[in-house]
Amino acid sequence: MNLLLYSPAFAPSVGGLESVVAMLAEGFARAGHRVTVVTTTPADGPDRSAASDREGSALYRVVRNPGPLRLLRLVHRCDVFFQANVSLKGLWPLLLLRRPWVVSHHSWYCQSDGRITWRDRLKRRLLRRAAASIAVSRAVADDLDTPSVVIENPYRDDLFRRLPEIPRDRELVFLGRLVSDKGCDLLLEALGRLDARGVRPRLTLVGTGPEEAPLRRRITALGLDDRVELAGRAGGEALVRVLNRHRVLVAPSRYNEPFGIVALEGLACGCLAVGSAGGGLADAIGPGGWVFPNGDVDALADLLEAVLDGRLAPPAPEVVAGHLARHTRTVVSGRYLEVLRQVVGESAPPGRPERTSEDSVPPSAP
């Protein structure tokens, strides 16, 4: 198949959606399909965002900010037009060309305060015309009016893993942007409550964001300066090593997370996981940990105390391994490809023959 993936958010921007789109593009390409990613995210230098094969050749193309004619040509050449979240700006070529439209849903179609705007309503209505709809969690699927297949997100199983040589000498770690939705302040308040009970775990906050200064002030006010480290941003092998030093990854979001790849990353590095119950984060944690009601500081403190003192039996390693195995890049991209094959028909060829000009459109096309 010739697959066109449209995602406004992509590398070098950093985030869950960006990483999932890159993993899917690589998985589709390694399965033998021709893949082009279209994004409005500009490059920050030489474009090295596409993964490479053993010979060093890019596995897929990345096209940034194409003009209208080029986008139309790219859509004309594809077998499937795939969007990661509905993008109204990128949909207009389907008014002129008939191509199967498949959408994966990685967030909610509403505003952060829960309001549904006319744009959100339009996106929901347009989904009725999609050839297939894929939700990253049961919670996201239940929020849609359109029937959707649930395919949970993958994680980078080539990177996140246990490192037995690293001593697991710290208790708690948070990984994410330092914004109010992620609930770092709730975690600090829970540590304050634990301190009053004589329970004094150490916490590492990995990430940056606009709430960093208020969080530093709150750490001092709670008397936690000697036990809370703001480690800044970390990625790649450095992040793997940080996670391997900790016993419990905590994801205390106020927000109903659509999924929560961070939980998979922590589990893969040998952490237990504690997170908020709303949305799809509980699906990501699966049998690898425990959840508490969103925003409930006392429930979070009680749960952390029970986990740290061993009152809650840790999950069996083989159960966690099975959960992680269902979220590898190969497995998840394979499930997506099953949906895409059904859309184009099982008899569809692997891809169209190359044209003499990759962007050419025959005179009969609009």
What is the three-class DSSP state of 134? Answer: strand
Question: How high is the pLDDT of residue 347?
Answer: 40
Tokens in use for 122? 């339009």
Question: How high is the pLDDT of residue 351?
Answer: 44
Average pLDDT score, the chain: 91
Question: How high is the pLDDT of residue 34?
Answer: 96
Question: How high is the pLDDT of residue 361?
Answer: 38
What is the three-class DSSP state of 62? Answer: strand
The CATH number fitting domain 2-154+328-344, selected from 3.40.50.2000, 3.30.930.10, 3.40.50.150, 3.30.300.30: 3.40.50.2000
Most confident of 12-16, 295-299, 354-358: 295-299
Confidence tier at 363 by pLDDT (50, 70, 90): very low
Tens of pLDDT, residue by residue over 92-116, are 999 999 999 999 999 999 887 788 8
Cis peptide before 366 (omega within 30 of 0): no
Tokens in use for 124? 């929901």
Question: How high is the pLDDT of residue 46?
Answer: 60
Contact call for residues 184 and 205 (beta carbons, < 8 A): yes
Confidence tier at 312 by pLDDT (50, 70, 90): very high
pLDDT over 80 at 257, yes or no: yes
pLDDT over 90 at 357, yes or no: no
Which stretches does DSSP call E strand in 47-182?
61-64, 80-84, 101-105, 132-135, 149-150, 170-175
Mean pLDDT value across residues 265-293: 97
Q: Where are the domains of the chain?
A: 2-154+328-344, 170-323
Contact call for residues 131 and 146 (beta carbons, < 8 A): no
Question: How high is the pLDDT of residue 53?
Answer: 57
Single out the residue of 224, 197, 188, 191 nearest to residue 304, CA to CA: 191
- Looking at per-residue confidence, does 291 or 15 come out higher? 291
Confidence tier at 44 by pLDDT (50, 70, 90): confident
Confidence tier at 22 by pLDDT (50, 70, 90): very high
Q: Look at phi and psi of residue 89 and say left if phi exceeds 0, alpha if psi is from -120 to 50, else beta.
A: alpha
Question: How high is the pLDDT of residue 349?
Answer: 43
Mean pLDDT value across residues 7-26: 92
The two domains 2-154+328-344 and 170-323 share their CATH topology (first three levels equal):
yes
Single out the residue of 306, 295, 172 nearest to residue 231, CA to CA: 172
pTM metric for this prediction: 0.89
Q: Which CATH architecture has domain 170-323?
A: 3-Layer(aba) Sandwich (3.40)
pLDDT over 80 at 356, yes or no: no
- Looking at per-residue confidence, does 14 or 289 come out higher? 289
**Can you spell out the DSSP letters for 123-140?**
HHHHGGG-SEEEESSHHH
Tokens in use for 26? 């690589």
